[in-house]
Structure formats: structure tokens, C-alpha cells
Chain A
Amino acid sequence: MSWIHHEVFINTLYIISFSLMIYGLMKLTGPQTAVRGNWIAAIGMTLAFVATLLKDEMGENWLLIIAGLVVGAAVGVPAALKVKMTAMPQMVALFNGVGGGAVALIAWAEFRNTDGYAHEPKYMAIASLFAALVGSVSFWGSNVAFGKLQEILPGKPITLGKLQQPVNVLVLLGAVACGVAIAVGADSEWLMVGLLVLAALVGLFVVLPIGGADMPVVISMLNAATGLSAAAMGLALNNTALIVAGMLVGASGSILTNLMAKAMNRSIPAIVAGGFGGGGGSAGGAGGGETRPVQSTSAADAAIQMAYASNVVVVPGYGMAVAQAQHAVKEMAELLEAKGVQVSYAIHPVAGRMPGHMNVLLAEADVPYEQLKEMDEINSQFAQTDVSLVIGANDVTNPAAETNPNSPIYGMPVLKVNQSKSVIVLKRSMSSGFAGIDNELFYDSKTAMLFGDAKASVSEIVEELKQL
């Protein structure tokens, strides 16, 4: 049975396993096949794992390995089973972070085991050091993102002001310098620790100044970073499975990062350099809005208005996620449909805190797939819409993005809610959105505000609808 430990056999298993992962990802293109796709990818992963265990070099620390796997599974599975759909962004951030952390730790151990890469080829040292740097950035960055989403840390940008960028660049250069020193032959472990710590600071400094609204971009970016660090680790360990899997994730993260940045009309460097903190923060402070009159409405009036409409477009935002209002929204939509009202949902790509966040929540509430409309599709329909119901969305509906060149979000594609015949906005208070910008929509004569917790407001509307 010696062939079973042979490199050729093991690498064949690797090829099968990453083929399964790619095939699984291909199945993710449709909701019907996606569940199977996920499991196919998981089987690929299991196969790669088994292949690794068969490797000839494997022979020690079995107890430690098994204990580590058991502890990891014991933490990961219950967390994954229990997490609420509304908390999905922070869960993804956390899983992403531990992946990056694992990469950084492996690189550190590699450094120790090889006396500072003394006998390894240069490229292995470089790949391993790159993995250490990116992995550490990703770990700490993801943890900050988790903290912000979980509201352990304030969601508003935390910055060093003008010093932020020079400091970031200096710290990053410091980390790279440590890496270069090791690569050219220095073998002091302090250099490795220095690299990891400085990279950790880069992760903290880059994510702390980023505001909540930019989170979809940040999470995608960190996801890509962890993927790339895994691929680099694959190069360092000469492990095909790691290389392919890492690159797949790197590509997917990059695509999502681009899509998200485009949906906000912001360049990735601008987001990394700091959220709306600089100019936008002061613009949000402009008190002009507070004195401007808004029309408020009651749940009863809103219910009547929608019940007698022929079509209603629901525009969900982060506020719906925070209030966990998705089930109430679905109930309301069913009541409206029973009265012959056509209901659809307008989903902005960056609504919420991660790509596709709203879709997941509405899927949880069993909203039919066909009723979810993407921005390009629904924008042409707002002019024929009787009532737009905005639930906890703000910046993605702000007409200033199209009309006011001075607005910090000018140029960002938005949902053209203001074109509909009337608008009802559910909102907790008149405070501005995460971008800190006044929303013209709220002062429009067609707009009525229904203040209060989104879930409570929708539930009230549901009660009113039942009595109609």
C-alpha cells in the first residue's frame, strides 16, 4: 500500500478535489443548484484533506491535529447553526479573519522550523512572508470589521485625521522592510514578529477609519486578501490544492470588491484611504435639514395608501436588517397581494452591510425570488409605481446622488424612488445615514415619513391591513 502515500497519487487526489471545488462554484450561479454546489465544494475540500493526511511527511503530532480539528469544529458548527441571518455579515467577517490568522500563523511556524528559511529556496521564503503579511492584515482587519458590525466598536469612522495615510504607509513599509530583511538572510525571529505586528497595525488602521456603509467593499476586499494569502502559502508549501483554492477566492473577492465599489461610485483606493470621514462628516453636520419640514404619516394611513395602490415597491436597507423586520415585511406583502396589489422589492447592490445582504434576509422570510428586482431592472419602473415603501434605506435612495454635484455621494447609482407617485419612508428618526448626508427624498412633497422601529411600524401596518 505504499502507492497510497505516493506524491503522484496524492496530487491526483488534489486535482480531483479542486475540480470539485470549481464545479461546485459553477453551480452557485442559480438558487436551485447552489445548495448542491456548496456540498460538491465541501466534498472537494474533504478529499483534499484526506489526500494531505496520506502524505508521506505526515507522521507526528496526530493528537494535536485531531484536538485542533475537534476544537475548531466545536466552535465553528454551533456558531454557524445559531447565527441569525441579520448577523451574517459579522459571521462572514469572523470566518474570514480566522482563515487569514491561520495563514499568518503557519508562516510564522514555517519561519521557526526552517531557521528563518535558511535552507529554503528564495521564492518559498518570499511567498511565505507575503502570506504572513496579508494574512495578518486580513485577520486584524476582519476582526475590526466584525467589531463594527457587531457594534462592539463604533460604526463611525475612527481616524487619525490627516496623519492617517502617512502613518498607514509608514507602518506598511515597516512590515515590508522586516520581510525583505528576512528574505535576504536575516534570521532573527523578532523580524518575523515585527512583520506580523506591523501588518496587524495596517489591518487595524485601514479598517478602523472605514464607515459602516463601506462595509460591503471592505468585507469583499478582506475576503480576497485571505484568498491570496492562502494561495501564497500554497506556493510556499508547494501545495496545488491550496494554490487553486486560494486563487479562486482571490478572484471572487476581487470581483465582488469591484462590483461593490462601482455600485457606490467610489474607487477602492478612496475607500481604503478612509470612509466618508473627511469631507462627508462635516457635510452631515450641516444643520439645515433639521429645520426643514417633513410630512409624517401614521401606520393606518400608510396601510390605506398601499391597499388602494395597484403596485408597491419595497426598498429595504440596513434598517430592515437591524430591526429584523423581514418577516413582518413578507406578511405585509402577502396581505397586499391578497388585495390585488402587485408587490416587488428593489435591491440596491450595496444595501446592507455585505454583498447580497438584503437578498438573504428576504429569502429567509420566503419572499419569492422573482419579486426581487435588481437596480437596473427596477429603476425604469419607478415612474409607474404608485407607492414606494422605503424601509430603513437611506443613501441608496438619495436623489442628490444624481442632482447635486456637491454631494459626497454624487455619481453613485441610486434607486430612483423619487420618481414614483408617492413615497413612504420608515425610519427611526431624522438622523442621517451612515454617509452622514441629508436625504432630499425625505423633504419631497410626495414623501411621508413613518417614524419608529421598522419592525414595529411594519407590524402596525399589517394590523391595519387586516382590518381593512
Chain B
Amino acid sequence: MENLVLIQNLAIVVLAGFTGFLVISKVPNTLHTPLMSATNAIHGIVVLGAVLVLGMGVGDDVVSGIILFVAVVFGAINVVGGFVVTDRMLGMFKQKPGTSSKGKADK
């Protein structure tokens, strides 16, 4: 049973890896920084892991509690900060058509 779970999860690993390759190969050079920062935010999903392990309880183990608390903080910084900064960056790319046509109108 355990091995079955492992095999199923490994299948997900492989498929997700290929999906990632296919999807991300299409992103143009121009958007590489936002891409990187968006994927950065996505690996912030580790915050789930931290919350889950903490939520399952660490008993009286203060040290584990501290370790996991820091992990939650780190994960939250990663995920929240990552999405916000990506949004800011992409916002600048988006305004472009409007401003460029305005620039032409000025001429």
C-alpha cells in the first residue's frame, strides 16, 4: 500500500515536471523576471507543509514548535511577498499599449 502511494506520487512528479517544461517554454524572454518571481511565489506553497505539520501537533516539544513557527513565517513571506511583487511587476508590462499609443498621439 505504501509503495502504491509512492508510485502514484512519482507519476505525479514526472507528469508535473513535463507539464512545467511545456508551459514555461512558451514564456517569452521579456517576461522572464516576472515568471521567475511568480514561480518563486508558487514554491511558497511549502507554507502548507509547515502549517500542516504544525497543525498535527508537536506535543510539548517547544523546539519543534519554534522551528515550525519560523518555517510558517518563511513560507508566508515567500508566498505572499512573491505574488504581490509579481503583480507589481506585471502591472508595468500591462500599461504599455495604452502609454505607447498616447506617446504616438503626442507626436
Q: Which residues of A contact B (CB under 8 A)?
A: 18, 21-22, 24-26, 28-32, 34-35, 37-39, 41-42, 45, 48-49, 52-53, 55, 57-62, 64-65, 67-69, 71-73, 75-77, 79-81, 83, 85, 88, 91-92, 95-96, 98-99, 101-103, 105-106, 108-110, 112-113, 121, 123, 219-220, 223, 226-227, 230-231, 233-235, 237-256, 259, 334, 337-338, 347, 349, 354-357, 359-360, 363-364, 366-370, 372, 374
Contacts and interface: CB of A to CB of B under 8 A. Distances in A.
A99 B6 CA distance: 24
24 contacts: A29-B31, A45-B44, A68-B72, A68-B76, A73-B77, A80-B81, A80-B85, A88-B89, A91-B81, A92-B37, A102-B71, A113-B53, A113-B58, A226-B43, A231-B13, A233-B49, A242-B45, A248-B16, A248-B19, A259-B32, A356-B29, A357-B33, A360-B34, A363-B89
A78 to B, nearest CB: 9
A452 to B, nearest CB: 27
A88 B33 contact: yes
B42 A95 contact: no
A29 B28 contact: yes
Interface of B is mostly: helix
A26 to B, nearest CB: 5
Interface residues of B, number: 90
Contacts of B107: 337-338
B45 A230 contact: yes
B40 A243 contact: no
B55 A42 contact: no
B79 A45 contact: yes
A105 B49 CA distance: 10
A67 B57 CA distance: 16
Which of B20, B38, B68, B69 has its CB near the most chain A CB atoms (within 10 A)? B20
A226 B74 CA distance: 13
Nearest to B48: A52
B67 A108 contact: yes
A297 to B, nearest CB: 28
B6 A244 contact: no
B16 A230 contact: no
Interface string B88-107: 11111111110110010011
Nearest to A67: B69
A75 B81 CA distance: 8
Contacts of A349: 29
A107 to B, nearest CB: 9
Nearest to A81: B84
Given A251-B20, A356-B36, A368 B46 contact: no
A55 B43 contact: no
A77 B17 CA distance: 29
Contact of A223 (B26, B39, B75, B86): B39
Nearest to A93: B40
A79 B96 contact: no
Contact of A109 (B38, B53, B76, B77): B53
A99 B20 contact: no
Nearest to B56: A57
Contacts of B43: 96, 99, 223, 226-227, 230, 245-246, 249
A244 B38 CA distance: 15
B96 A369 contact: yes
B55 A92 contact: no
A31 B96 contact: yes
Given A42-B41, A359-B32, A369-B93, A105 B70 contact: yes
A59 B51 CA distance: 11
A59 B59 CA distance: 12
B83 A42 contact: yes
A170 B79 CA distance: 34
A99 B29 contact: no
Contact of A52 (B27, B52, B61): B52
A31 B31 contact: yes
A248 B39 contact: yes
Nearest to B37: A92
Nearest to A337: B107
B29 A92 contact: no
Contacts of A68: 50-51, 54, 69-73, 76
A161 B88 CA distance: 42
